[in-house]
Amino acid sequence: MAEVSFPLPDLGEGLIEATILEWLVSPGDQVERNQPLVEVETTKSAVELPSPQAGKVVRIHGGPGDKINVGEPLIVFEVPDNTAGIVGTVPTEEAPKRRVRLSAVLDED
């Protein structure tokens, strides 16, 4: 098993941080790709971030009311070793739109 960490993605419009409203998953949960993970609020709007991949949640960062900067760790997944190498791939099935997606920070190993 490998761990994959996803930071808070760039939310566009020059926003540099977001406040956690509510986590919709907990450590230990098995989540599906596109399953809602967390609600966050910026100075302009509130959004729900979908899971960029399937996997088991290992850690979540920040609780309701906490501010997280873009690029800081948001959630860590445990995934089978053979899939850890492809997590950086941008999902292609969606029609092109500006929906914010998380993308992985790959560990040095």
Task: Give the shortest CB-15-to-another protein separation in angstroms.
Answer: 11
Based on CB atoms, which residue is closest to another protein, 25 or 105? 25
How many whole angstroms separate alpha carbon 73 and alpha carbon 6? 6
How many whole angstroms separate alpha carbon 28 and alpha carbon 11? 27
How many whole angstroms separate alpha carbon 11 and alpha carbon 16? 8
Return residues touching another protein (CB under 8 A): 13, 21-22, 24, 34, 36, 39, 41, 44-48, 50, 64, 93-95, 97-100
Task: Give the shortest CB-106-to-another protein separation in angstroms.
Answer: 26
